Structure 1
């Protein structure tokens, strides 16, 4: 490792932006490394237990935050399992709800905000890092399709099976603009490296970046910005996409080429798995266009990041975390430690 890194006491400040199932997989592995880790989590989820709680209590959806708390917690497994337990009851109220979602909601009600709830739970659960909701109020994800139609609600977008032109977010009162918390902006401005993804492009990643002050903070950041590209395309979102198409969409939405480095999986997904997902979340493997990525101003790091488990296709969090740490080691000193 670079001698400067050995001698420097200050930890690398790493910010991870995303949501869905990919974010906690990566956080679980990154916390094993000696970094100052912050997770910024989407608040536009309106499906499942989170959506029901959001609609009844007018609170940001707790599901992704719950999973990040578990990912960064150093508690024994039995306590994590309790927090993650999802009721399998036929009771109209409890059915499908995770205990952790109810706990987050209750403490938010006690303390007056989800921010305070997560702060308290982070202490109680021995969380190794910081977790921030991207905004302190629930947001509606809105998609405009190339045919001019508009759909409101994250859970409805993919079901429309139309080509998306752009997405954006609005508070429940659409006359207002969405804003990120000051702590979110500060963490981005102070970051040495910003990881975006892995996660659904339109419904897990862009909902964060479309919060205007959050997105602008990413554009202003002096950090290395790394996009962890999805391994598979998704029905109703990124059908027929290459890795370069993912980056083009990000750059189009932000109106600036801001991704410095892209991590791309090049390991082949077995044919038996392709287009066999019961929930129809996946379609085919993302194709590669390294020349187009370079034209977007990106450095490309390609390797085997594939993890096949439970019949599904995932990023191997350990491999990705190791790659990120290798990237940090080789970053210019100006990225690593600013005066």
Structure 2
């Protein structure tokens, strides 16, 4: 029997944790990665070379690579701050940028690098162009730029993406992304930043239509903690409601939520000012709206930081498959 096709959409470290565990399973994996990051090393490279920001793509490639760890450590190596010219840049970001410049095609350069890195599955940047994230806040104010948007102490109402190279046209995802979603057995959103890692992918018009058409089970892995500048005070149901609202119809029917209590000391260490808290579970609203809820201990605490336990999430996903 052929392997099940699983598409995981998002960005950030949470996505890499899930992919690293799923690659051990008998599934055909495709990671669809956001291209609207404009902060840190990715943002600097993006501004200088006008390429898709490489940071999230780099982390996903490492998560799915089968190369020896010492080679992956080299790819992930970040230059020290005193190295003025290379300060803060990860070597992998520079390699991805160089390949993109050589081929003049980010998508094809990632496919080439995937072969060199012996990737288990596919890594697809959602677009071949670097996109700009736009947000409207509840008070009607509009701001641009992912790293800029999260600095406002205001609730975000909605987000959308634009292509600075083609302002008059709506951004579109590359065809392999659409084909992967339409042919998938399961599509997973997250875990990751709701407004800056997940939504920038699904608000692209042909991605939204593909999610509407696919026969795949669409699930959302809810964040364990709220996020400053994005999801303070939002429940797990609020997260899902926002996703479905951006998709313009109820597309996500299943949610994975952590039910293990986080020690208060760890919560405080992750949010010393007390802004961030564990995402509140609103089971009644979820069930009343016909949402399938998979509630379990998905918590993993490493070096006092809060993550999803990749192995436990993998088992829940395989059970759903």
Alignment TM class, shorter chain as reference: over 0.9
Are the equivalent residues in 2 in contact too, given 1:232–1:282 (CA < 8 A)?
no
Equivalent residue runs for 1:63-212 within 5 Å: 63-172=55-164, 173-212=166-205
Give deviations 1:218-258, integer Å, cap 9, x for gaps.
11110000100011011111111111000110111111111
Give deviations 1:146-201, integer Å, cap 9, x for gaps.
11111101111121010111011001143221100000000000000001100010
Moved more, 25-34 or 87-96: 87-96
Other-structure match for 1:16: 8
Report the alpha carbon displacement of residue 68 of structure 1 after superposing the two structures with TM: 0.8
Are the equivalent residues in 2 in contact too, given 1:257–1:296 (CA < 8 A)?
no
Report the alpha carbon displacement of residue 19 of structure 1 after superposing the two structures with TM: 0.3
- Give, in whole Å, the separation in 2 of the partners of 1:167 and 1:280: 27
Structure 1 unaligned residues grouped into runs of 5+:
1-7, 329-339
Give deviations 1:12-37, integer Å, cap 9, x for gaps.
00000010110111000000001010
Question: Secondary structure of 1:38's match?
Answer: strand
| Count of residue pairs the alignment pairs up | 320
Indicate yes or no: 2:284 matched with 1:285. Answer: no
Are the equivalent residues in 1 in contact too, given 2:232–2:275 (CA < 8 A)?
no
Other-structure match for 1:231: 224
Indicate yes or no: 2:19 matched with 1:27. Answer: yes
Distance 1:282 1:119, change over 3 A: farther
Moved more, 118-127 or 171-180: 171-180
Are the equivalent residues in 1 in contact too, given 2:227–2:276 (CA < 8 A)?
yes
- Give, in whole Å, the separation in 1 of the partners of 2:207 and 2:105: 19
> Runs of at least 4 residues of structure 1 off by over 4 A?
278-282
Report the alpha carbon displacement of residue 76 of structure 1 after superposing the two structures with TM: 0.3
Are the equivalent residues in 2 in contact too, given 1:37–1:129 (CA < 8 A)?
yes
Distance 1:64 1:179, change over 3 A: same
Indicate yes or no: 2:314 matched with 1:321. Answer: yes
Report the alpha carbon displacement of residue 53 of structure 1 after superposing the two structures with TM: 0.4
2:292 alignment partner, one of 290, 296, 299: 299
Other-structure match for 1:276: 269
Are the equivalent residues in 2 in contact too, given 1:141–1:207 (CA < 8 A)?
yes
Are the equivalent residues in 2 in contact too, given 1:259–1:297 (CA < 8 A)?
no
Structure 2 unaligned residues grouped into runs of 5+:
none
- Give, in whole Å, the separation in 1 of the partners of 2:274 and 2:133: 18
Report the alpha carbon displacement of residue 277 of structure 1 after superposing the two structures with TM: 2.6
Give the TM-score, by structure 1 length. Answer: 0.92
Other-structure match for 1:39: 31
Moved more, 294-303 or 10-19: 294-303
Give the TM-score, by structure 2 length. Answer: 0.97
Moved more, 109-118 or 269-278: 269-278
Question: Secondary structure of 1:301's match?
Answer: strand
